[in-house]
Amino acid sequence: MATEPWPESRDELELYQRSLAAERPPLWRPQEGVRLAGGCFICFQTGRTGPGAPGDAGWAAAALIHDGTLAAVSIAHGLAPAGYASGLLALREGPLLEEAVRGLPALPQVLLVNATGRDHPRRAGLALHLGARLEIPSVGVTDRPLHAVGPWPADEPGATSSLRIGGELVGYWVRTKRGVRPLAIHAAWRTDPETGVSIVMSVTAKSRTPTPLREARRTAREARAGRILSAAAAVRPPS
């Protein structure tokens, strides 16, 4: 379990990102499917202008899905340590997201994060950083890539197309539902692009968004609206 503080400056974070990107831990692949999948999401106070400033109130939520069913959620509330800056999301969101995930009654086998992984100027986006810190395989899931490029896939559920930075494959566009925009799936901590796609498709039901992320997003937004007040709300403990 990581005990050191999150990086607090741009220089500190960039140095750590380069070090993290150079690590090559063994790739994780589920042998018998995933029974416990997690997702985490953060949202900030509304009514502000601009991309985000230090001190913004934030609500982070984590959701635990057990055999396809919501088992538990956890909420962390606090002030953003930093403003928004591309490629430096960990400075703003990392501490609250970690607190939310650690608040779950059990850590998931794999964590879906609303952030990039290898698709990053230093190849270590927040999805990879958070997975490494929690020591959980992770997958990034976003609406669009950060630096990678690639054409959209066919309009068929499960269709994919490559996302590359130069010649390096860092993720895939994935069509989870016909007629909707595809998702960008990012290799992150101990996962490659193919495993990321497999995990996302296995935990996506009828919605465009994978269930763990959808539940975390819903919980964070409800907490921001004041409809959820407790820091942790167990739905059904996993067995």
Report the alpha-carbon distance of residue 195 to residue 186 in Å, rounded.
Answer: 10
Which pLDDT band, with edges at 50, 70 and 90, does 228 fall under? Answer: confident
pLDDT exceeds 80 at position 48: no
Q: Largest Cα–Cα distance of the chain, in whole Å?
A: 47
Which pLDDT band, with edges at 50, 70 and 90, does 1 fall under? Answer: very low
Q: Count CB-CB contacts under 10 A for residue 221.
A: 15
Using alpha carbons only, give the angle 172, 214, 133 rounded to the nearest 5 degrees. 70
Instruction: Write out the two tokens for 111.
Output: 């964590």
What is the residue-wise DSSP string for 26-49? Answer: PPP--SS--SEEEEEEEEE-SS--
Which of 36-50, 132-146, 157-171 is predicted least confidently?
A: 36-50
Which pLDDT band, with edges at 50, 70 and 90, does 155 fall under? Answer: very high
pLDDT exceeds 70 at position 2: no
Mean pLDDT for 129-146 is 98
Position 141 scores a pLDDT of: 98
Q: Where are the domains of the chain?
A: 11-18+35-44+55-234
Mean pLDDT for 137-159 is 97
Report the alpha-carbon distance of residue 44 to residue 21 in Å, rounded.
Answer: 28
Instruction: Write out the two tokens for 193.
Output: 């692009």
Report the alpha-carbon distance of residue 217 to residue 239 in Å, rounded.
Answer: 24
Which pLDDT band, with edges at 50, 70 and 90, does 238 fall under? Answer: low
Strand 36-44 relative to strand 168-174: parallel, antiparallel, unpaired?
Answer: unpaired
Instruction: Write out the two tokens for 58.
Output: 């934030």
| pTM score over 0.85 | yes
Specify whether domain 11-18+35-44+55-234 bears CATH 3.30.2170.10.
yes
pLDDT exceeds 50 at position 205: yes
Which amino acid is present at 207?
Answer: S
Instruction: Write out the two tokens for 230.
Output: 């407790």
Position 51 scores a pLDDT of: 83
